[in-house]
Chain A
């Protein structure tokens, strides 16, 4: 194992995944969602699923630099969303707008290093690519009462008229934070930090209790 050697390597990055014999543990590993899913209710107003072990890459660049935008598009296969609070999704790549010079790229876990490398290979100038896969996980919430749970948890207005499918907001969620994206009419993805994952899982169980919570694994 060694760092990728590039000519005049100005940054250092590496494949961070172990071989397949070593199973990574997502932030909710300890909750044993598979068992919860099996023994828990099958119907309810809210459905919860952890999209575990995905590849998360933070990308920073100058959105006014057309060359960088083009390079990022080439590496990702999809253009970066430059409209604030939006996202794009193509195939197995999704990109969330985080701030005027920041995006969160989410890919299948196994593709992380490939995408990271592609970004480094295509991009030039001042940019930052950081693999943050270990720091985040995704909670998928759906169901008839998903808006009720969100309204208990965040001050952002989640009404479809102002929070359409594809919209992304990084904001306070309960007493932690989440990158909230509407992925369907009644489906949302929350990207949450590893260290807060257990707290947010407790919070969501609690907030969903009156509607009935279905866990999928």
Chain B
């Protein structure tokens, strides 16, 4: 068997299912049930990366989410690349392709290693800040190099072929973690009738029980787990989510869960299956049963491959049947870790010694080790290790009772593996996400969840209850408490019996002393991922960074993708020691979402590509598509922009569309205009208050243009409103402003004038609207209706109900082009029918469809504004030369009246909208160009206003523009100059914004 570290039996792997995978270009074999990490260890792969700063060789340290070193790049193809995957959490599958993230150009031979080695003391904390800050212009260059060398993984350069999904969940109780505490909490809550979601990041439920030799409820622990899972799965009110990491705990008991559905099966999800699902969960109560991470001890060269966390070693042995070495030295501050040495011994490999930092360890586990003939060296510590790419030996020395100094001579032992345990840190990350500050507990020697404003319960190791019996008991209690809070009745749940051994008191030790001072001792790593050493933290403290938050930022401790799961508390202990204060005095530690990295795919879900943003279509959209329209986005609407014929440029198409409309007839799909049906006896009064002009006397059957202002007097929307009946109006708004205007009306009605009897209902989608415009438009309309649409009986600004092409319609004789125009509105289900009939009959007039661009040109020729293009929230009606649309004499005020009378609004020399004619008629000014009065003035020249609309007018054979000029309305005929970015200075004349038919004769025919 090539898997030299694999045991012949035992573990939760399936030896009958070998899986082939690739790591750094080499093929290896593992088994179903392995993680990538356990398979690599089985194959004796010691080196899995290079460190961030010093480029030191690194090996696998842990067995779960807390792993800082084994951060892999995964992906068999370019499109399926995934960076920053923890090998300890990646299940093995056949064909898995992985490579080390760190280590450029290769893990075995690393150029950065040179820097790191020479570096040593040359790369203290703050190195990057201090070295690469100047000159600042070079920072980008430095950053590229540093990032590449640091190896943070890389994103794919091709589209992700997989599908990701989001789902909204609701639950009475969400249980986070399916170890003994979580399982019992979920079982209790579910039996009580609560809707429960239980999620665990691992492929199997069971948590600590998965690598335990204990029995629960008189059977093997995993058998008990299976029985509970079976019960939960059978309950239709329970959602069981394995391979699902609760990554974020947000305000109002909102949780985000990242479920990996196929990451364990293949590089790419098979058959179009969803690869990952992002659960957005609203929970009434949350039970955190997130367990604890074992804390490694900080000692010299503790990053040499072979140095591991004690419990991880046990996990590899018991769960995966892998013994990751031959000769073990265990260093521990507690009884619990003795299991690791016992497991190692029972697996048939040599335990050189257990080095216990306590003077006089006693207890059942200690005895069990001694019974096996294992040497226990008490009152001592491993102060450093030898080896570079693998541990070759350790230095053991007696230490003082308080762990502060070495008290005797150093003895060397040979070993290839060092397991260390400094106790356990409760996994309080999720509790921290919601802003709860963790509290140090001297008994537990760790931080526990602090006060919370969430509806949050905790159970098990997160509370510092590290034994299974206690965890089960707390799980039940949390389940019962949740039931009570939910108003559900309590249920009877028996806490299963366990077979644990009692443990004696652990010692508080984090940073192992050395014979030399920390600054001169071999590097003692605190945060592996960011290469933060105990010496670095001491230096930071000495340089004046006394707040732990500053220390973290200066040294980068906890800023890796692992968020310092292993290192933060050790780091705080080191800082506390230097500052001569306690850990709680030093500060606390805070974690932010996400708990472990999450793919962008899962966050995006299905809101991508075609579904990224809704596209809104009018009833005639298909016709536009079939007739080659180019589209423009207006809000979420897809509006035809122009309709090019084969071989036409955009300008050619626009010229043709403009001329056809002015000379014969054009047609525009205007369905996207916002339309609001307004009814009530006070509708008219209401209109008078929200529009700047007067509405009191608008007769039934008539339409009127109105400007809508914000309180500050500035124009924010415009449109035509028609009087359908005495108490009934139809308001139109801009396409993009429809929802805003309706909200505006409701807001003012509900908060300011609730006494007005008026109702508003959006009818934007109900009516299909098509505008025929041009001298032949009446002829065309006459062909399709029996109604009298003659000049005298259907006047400009009239509206009439009539039948058009067999369909009941409301026709409005209003014009945005300055031509004779009819706006035909039919129930949208008939939009396409009427549109097609118009074309059928319009062929002889060369009826020409036009889009938003031609609409813009035609209206600009008439000097009509587009709200949002010619207005920008700083323009009032008088600035626009539209004082005619303001009625200062209305009995009740109107919104914006007072605003536009403010001092600044009435001063001279405000920027006012005028027409701009270039002296050279062929130059079309760019929109946004800034005007000046004196082009010879020194730079920066005083700017006098910008061009807001600018086009080539085919009808006029010259360029036209609308723009703002200081005091422009009084400067007709004067010159203004536009210095352009290309160096040209364009000379232009200020003129009336109405370029065509100033008397409005064309629309009144």
Contacts and interface: CB of A to CB of B under 8 A. Distances in A.
Interface in A96-151: 101, 126-128, 130-136, 148, 151
B807 A18 contact: yes
B615 A1 contact: no
Contacts of A26: 829
A136 B763 CA distance: 10
Contacts of A197: 617
Contact of B827 (A2, A127, A134): A134
Interface in B587-618: 606-607, 610-611, 613-618
Interface in B825-861: 826-833
Nearest to B765: A135
Q: Is the interface of A mostly helix, strand, loop or mixed?
A: loop
Nearest to A197: B617
A185 interface: no
A206 B164 CA distance: 11
Contact of B801 (A2, A9, A154, A156): A2
Given A1-B808, A134-B828, A195 B763 contact: no
Contact of A17 (B165, B613, B677, B808): B808
A49 interface: no
Interface residues of A, number: 64
Contacts of A176: 614
Contacts, number: 171
Interface stretch (B16-24, B60-68, B704-712, B723-731): B723-731
Contact of A53 (B615, B829, B833): B829
Nearest to B678: A128
A130 B759 CA distance: 10
A30 B611 CA distance: 18
Contacts of A195: 616-618, 637, 672, 764-765
Contacts of A193: 765
A63 interface: no
B759 A202 contact: no
B763 A132 contact: yes
A134 B766 contact: yes
A90 interface: no
A134 B607 contact: no
A17 B809 CA distance: 10
Contacts of A162: 170
B727 A11 contact: yes
Interface string A13-32: 01111110111111101100
A75 to B, nearest CB: 16
Interface stretch (B272-280, B408-416, B501-509, B975-983): B272-280
Contact of A60 (B195, B761, B762, B831): B761
B168 A155 contact: yes
B728 to A, nearest CB: 4
Nearest to B618: A195
A157 interface: yes
Contact of B679 (A128, A131, A157): A128
A134 B280 contact: no
B39 to A, nearest CB: 30
B583 interface: no
Best-surrounded residue of A58, A194, A195 (most CB of chain B within 10 A)? A195
Interface in A13-63: 14-19, 21-27, 29-30, 53, 58, 60
Contacts of B169: 151
A10 B833 contact: no
B885 interface: no
Q: How large is the interface on B (under 10, 10 to 19, 20 to 34, 35 or more residues)?
A: 35 or more
Contacts of A29: 832
A147 B282 CA distance: 16
B167 A151 contact: yes
Given A17-B808, A175-B607, A176-B614, A24 B680 contact: no
B265 to A, nearest CB: 15
Contacts of A202: 610-611
B615 A58 contact: no
Contacts of B679: 11, 60, 127-128, 130
A14 B274 contact: no
A203 B611 contact: yes
Contacts of A161: 195
B757 interface: yes
A127 B728 CA distance: 11
B803 interface: yes
A3 interface: yes
Given A1-B803, A152-B165, A175 B613 contact: yes
Contact of A135 (B680, B764, B808): B764
A16 B728 contact: no
B765 A157 contact: no
A174 interface: yes
A203 B609 CA distance: 12
A12 B829 CA distance: 20
Contacts of A154: 168
A209 interface: yes
A210 interface: yes
A130 B763 contact: yes
B883 interface: no
Contacts of B48: none
A147 B280 CA distance: 15
Given A9-B726, A18-B808, A60-B759, A3 B274 contact: no
B801 A1 contact: yes
A134 B273 contact: no
A206 B611 contact: yes
Contact of A134 (B615, B672, B803, B829): B829
A144 B272 CA distance: 21
Contacts of B831: 25, 134
A24 B833 CA distance: 8
B168 A152 contact: yes
Contacts of B617: 195, 197-198
Nearest to A23: B833
A24 B827 contact: yes
A29 B620 CA distance: 11
Nearest to A8: B726
B166 interface: yes
Contacts of B763: 130, 132, 135
Contact of A22 (B280, B637, B806): B806
Given A196-B616, A206-B606, A25 B808 contact: no
Contacts of B762: 135
B807 A14 contact: no
A26 B831 CA distance: 10
A130 B757 CA distance: 16
A207 interface: yes
Contacts of B672: 195
Contact of B766 (A133, A156, A196, A206): A133
B768 interface: yes
Given A16-B808, A18-B808, A10 B681 contact: yes
B829 A24 contact: yes
A199 B681 contact: no
A2 B787 CA distance: 9
A134 B761 contact: no
Interface in B419-433: none
A134 B765 contact: yes
Contacts of A11: 679, 724-725, 727-728
Best-surrounded residue of A151, A194, A198 (most CB of chain B within 10 A)? A194
10 contacts: A10-B726, A19-B806, A25-B829, A25-B830, A60-B679, A131-B766, A134-B831, A135-B767, A195-B618, A210-B273
Interface of B: 165-170, 195, 272-274, 280, 282, 606-607, 610-611, 613-619, 621-622, 637, 672, 677, 679-681, 724-728, 757, 759, 761-768, 786-787, 801-803, 806-808, 826-833
Given A134-B831, A157-B282, 16 more contacts: A10-B728, A18-B806, A126-B757, A134-B619, A134-B765, A134-B768, A135-B765, A152-B166, A175-B611, A175-B613, A195-B672, A195-B765, A197-B617, A198-B615, A199-B614, A199-B615
10 tightest A-B CB contacts, nearest first: A24-B829, A135-B765, A134-B828, A135-B766, A128-B759, A195-B616, A157-B170, A10-B727, A199-B614, A12-B724
